[in-house]
A and B are shown apart, each in its own frame.
Chain A
């Protein structure tokens, strides 16, 4: 079905819902590269005005990627809960935006809405929202997940300790891990991106984190971010796998370029659950996403990159993840050109993920060919802290020497906790105090903990 809107005798036509969503999307280089963005500022606003009048119900009857050809579309349609949808069934996209901002819409209301929403509805409404709207609504959400600790409680803010090394050298990784722990990092997960995706290499790294965790009774979980097939193989051979990781995207075709599909993830999910390693909860999956991944795999079907991203969240929530991380600035300037576009995309992803019921974290990051720097990241980090983001990355001095990009440092997380009065997850906070890493008001003290950690690892 086509849509149209007239401004000063100029009739703007939008071929279908997919076209309308793309044209209504705030400007970003990836949509321009794909040839689906609005040609002018006026056209973009015309699309947004048009989109505001589209009933939410239309999204249930108009699949933007056909049901027959895409398993993510099938998952979205088949898992839609018409009862949960009831409170908003009569609204248009524009009315939904106003509804979300209403004072009587609280945390519980939004939690109950989760399965009534499709990713396309959420993506659509985000396109009508300013950055402050995205923050204000996300802040009302609370998504709590558990494995060995409790992540996502309001007033708490966690980090993934990311101690990568270009050759996976265990001593190099251990050095960064100690540095991070002594800076209070690692309550979301200690997660390594391996340089080499070989089962034996990954197993070595898993054991390195696991023995440290057990020796010091650290209330956190470990993950080596290998391909899901490698993790499955390791689970079957008895390796200490806490969390199962996978990068995912919003179309079946893009996922198949990653070598995955829903059945494979379901198999790995069941295998990881069967290990039963979580002490207080059973959220065992860790997913990473990022706008532009479908386009870069030439698998976007003409759908804008932000809507593709939201569709990936529909896939993630099927498997009750502990952590979902949008790696927002990693993909490069051909998808998100500068600090402004990266910040906007991160706030959209965080909002969409939270509304769909996901424990969203954000890799606040950029590459050296993007028009961005530490000031942009400070802005984004602070905005996400206000929005109630579950976690960010913790990397020595922001400089990931394996992946060659800049993310947030251990110091950055401490800054955010300090200025916004946020605390680590409760179990980890207690541990930091027991170890003498922080005092009872959360300030770093270091002291005796260091000697013990170093003796263990070196």
Chain B
């Protein structure tokens, strides 16, 4: 016996070429068909898993060994993910033990590189190694003095201010997992801050976002960041004032 067709398809499916929005989904009655519903659910599952993923410090350290830069593992004051999600203020503060560790490595550096889980550790687990390799190569081309690379767990962007200030670096660059979207659970954002110190707000930073294989590619991202860093050193500032002059590059 032939199964009856329950699903009504939409005759305007050709419009899908103009947008990634979930148009022309068809319907059963007036509800979303099962295939489309499960596709959505899978995308949401990827995003949720990304939020609860953990920074793979061992693997990242292993693959960055060859750069011959000390690597420090740090933690914010947020004890776990649930607390991290509800108390962004704790994610911006360093745990006492981490603060002590920084004192041992304090010095005079040009740049402090920080790799942070943010809202998607999965994103930095997937992208940070290649991004850092590309950045370090560019930084070494003009002999910037690099601070130990810091891997930070339960971390927000502003934690970079404490870390770079503690280490004695003139500029911080934090590579952090961005809030996962339904179609992008692996996107990294890079925030740079000149003269980092506790108490700064976001208008003092510049951001290069959507760094991932389907978005802004690693090498291109590294070049953008490198350009901004050179400008920040040249003009001794970062943030809104830098963006205005760096033009399209910061978009």
Contact = CB atoms under 8 A, between A and B. Distances in A.
Instruction: Please give me the 4 A-B residue pairs with the lowest Cβ-Cβ distance, nearest first.
Output: A397-B22, A414-B30, A172-B19, A368-B47
Contacts of B25: 396-397, 411
B198 interface: no
Task: Kindly name the residue among A179, A368, A373 whose own CB sees the greatest number of chain B CB atoms within 10 A.
Answer: A368
Contacts of A337: 85-86
Interface stretch (A107-115, A163-171, A270-278): A163-171
A342 to B, nearest CB: 14
B15 A178 contact: yes
A399 B85 contact: no
A333 B119 CA distance: 12
14 contacts: A33-B86, A33-B88, A171-B18, A172-B19, A174-B18, A179-B10, A182-B10, A334-B85, A334-B87, A368-B51, A397-B22, A404-B181, A444-B27, A454-B15
A178 B27 contact: no
Interface in B72-113: 85-89
Contacts of A373: 44
Contacts of B181: 368, 401, 404
Given A165-B21, A172-B21, A368-B47, A399 B12 contact: no
B72 to A, nearest CB: 27
A179 B18 contact: no
A66 to B, nearest CB: 26
Contacts of A176: 19, 21, 23
A446 interface: yes
Given A179-B24, A397-B21, A411-B25, A450 B12 contact: yes
B4 interface: no
Contacts of B47: 368
Interface in B1-55: 8, 10-12, 15-16, 18-25, 27, 29-32, 36, 40-41, 43-44, 47-48, 50-51
B30 A444 contact: yes
Contacts of A369: 51, 85, 119, 179-180
B183 interface: yes
A446 B86 contact: no
Given A165-B19, A411-B25, A450 B11 contact: yes
Contacts of B48: 368
Given A179-B12, A369-B119, A397 B88 contact: no
Most B CB contacts (10 A, CB to CB) among A176, A367, A404, A409 go to A404
A37 to B, nearest CB: 11
A319 interface: no
Contacts, number: 122
Interface of B: 8, 10-12, 15-16, 18-25, 27, 29-32, 36, 40-41, 43-44, 47-48, 50-51, 85-89, 119, 179-183
B30 A454 contact: no
A418 interface: yes
Contacts of B179: 367-369, 404
Contacts of B19: 165, 169, 171-173, 175-176, 401
A399 B86 contact: no
Interface string A139-168: 000000000000000000000000111100
B18 A169 contact: yes
Contacts of A404: 179, 181-182
Given A397-B36, A399-B182, A401-B21, A178 B12 contact: yes
A371 to B, nearest CB: 8
A32 interface: yes
A415 interface: yes
B209 to A, nearest CB: 11
A406 B182 contact: yes
B182 to A, nearest CB: 5
Interface residues of A, number: 45
Interface string A411-453: 1001100100000000000000000000000011010001000
A175 B23 contact: yes
A29 interface: yes
A33 B89 contact: yes
A373 B29 CA distance: 22
A131 interface: no
A398 interface: yes
A409 B44 contact: no
B44 A179 contact: no
A190 B236 CA distance: 46
Interface in A360-407: 367-369, 371, 373-374, 395-399, 401, 404, 406
B22 A399 contact: yes
A398 B182 CA distance: 10
Nearest to B23: A179
* Among A163, A166, A174, A397, residue most surrounded by chain B Cβ atoms (within 10 Å): A397
Contacts of A450: 11-12
A167 B87 CA distance: 32
Contacts of B44: 368, 373-374, 406
A370 B191 CA distance: 24
Contacts of A444: 8, 27, 30
Contact of B86 (A333, A368, A418): A333
Contacts of A163: 21
B30 A415 contact: yes
A446 B11 contact: yes
A397 B119 contact: no
B12 A454 contact: yes
Contacts of A418: 29-30
Contacts of A415: 30-31
B31 A411 contact: yes
A175 B15 contact: yes
